[in-house]
Amino acid sequence: MGDGVTTDLLMIRQKEDHRLSTAVDPKTDGTMFRILTKAEGLMGEDVPLELLFHLPVNYPSCLPAISVHSEHLTRAQSMTVKEKLLKQAENLLSEPMVHELVLWIQHNLRHVLNQPETGSGREKCTFATGTTVDDGLWMTLLHLDHMRAKTKYVQTVEKWASDLQLTGRLMFMGKIILILLQGDRSNIKEYLILQKTSKVDVDSSGKKCKEKMISVLFETKVQTEHKRFLAFEVKEYSSLDELQKEFETAGLKKLFSEFVLGLVK
């Protein structure tokens, strides 16, 4: 873990009004912070905030990817808060900044919400793979090992997809569980952060736990032969042939052969 990340961890853990969880993304070797905190809203009320920071390997020389979630804010308000945090982060380049950004939004949320919305912000970080965290319509396929609390898990996935304006499929076929997502690449990255840092399932004893058995089968920019999904749907398939037809209809026959067939035992 880099010196900037270590410094952020130490400073955040010294604050009693933050709840922190971390994870390492094996695909990029970046570090993810998930911080639960509160800030003063427009009417002086406490607004719970969930702040997700994805720090690339060259942090803090590069801006982190940031996402903001709160049941007390609209999607547009959350995006505005995210943009203001990224703008503030530009002034802190080359310095550990997560702790400072959390303090800044705690003191400035009310002011930010009073300002007009400014459009969509763009993260400027480049990860170890050499790809950026934005750039148009992308698609990714995820494989889950199991779902113990299926009803709650499905509801959570549907909510995340809706909040992040992602379309696609949550697919069940026997013991195979796949999540196919389409949307803005930065929103897909935000989804992956949520998937890896939230307590979305339960363990064998019934205790809430994070998803540790997830793998990214493929990620690609949507091509002309690929179907554009108009919504996010949950679907059950009775046979492998039926699942294959779903992929073929979506223009993903080759990807099905390369990545999905190997899951069938």
The domain locations on the chain are 3-114, 137-260
Architecture of domain 137-260: 2-Layer Sandwich (3.30)
Query: Which carries the bigger pLDDT value, residue 18 or residue 118?
Result: 18
Average pLDDT over residues 125-139: 52
pLDDT confidence band for 126 (50 / 70 / 90): very low
Whole-model pTM: value is 0.55
Instruction: Please provide the average confidence, as pLDDT, over all residues in the chain.
Output: 80
**What is the full DSSP assignment across 85-143?**
HHHHHHTTTTS--HHHHHHHHHHHHHHHHHSPP--------B-TTS-BS--SEEEEEEE
Q: Looking at residue 60, what DSSP letter applies?
A: T
Q: Does pLDDT of 34 surpass 90?
A: no
Q: Give the separation between CA 80 and CA 112, rounded to whole angstroms.
A: 8
- Residue pLDDT, tens place only, 166-176: 999 999 998 89
Domains 3-114 and 137-260 share a fold: no
**SS3 assignment, position 62:** coil
Per-residue pLDDT tens for 152-200? 889 989 988 988 889 999 999 988 999 999 998 888 888 888 887 778 7
Backbone φ and ψ for 173, nearest 5 degrees, come out as -145, 105
Buried b (16+ CB within 10 A) or exposed e, 143-173: bbeebebeeebeebbeebbebbebbbbbbbb
pLDDT level of residue 9 (50, 70, 90 thresholds):
low
pLDDT for res 210: 72
Q: Which fold has domain 3-114?
A: Ubiquitin Conjugating Enzyme (3.10.110)
Distance (Å, rounded) from C-alpha 255 to C-alpha 237?
Answer: 18
Model pLDDT, residue 124: 45
Give the side-chain half-sphere CA count within 13 A for 52.
24
Name which residue leads in pLDDT, 144 or 24: 144
- What are 54-96's pLDDT values in tens digits? 887 778 777 888 888 888 888 888 888 988 998 888 888 888 8
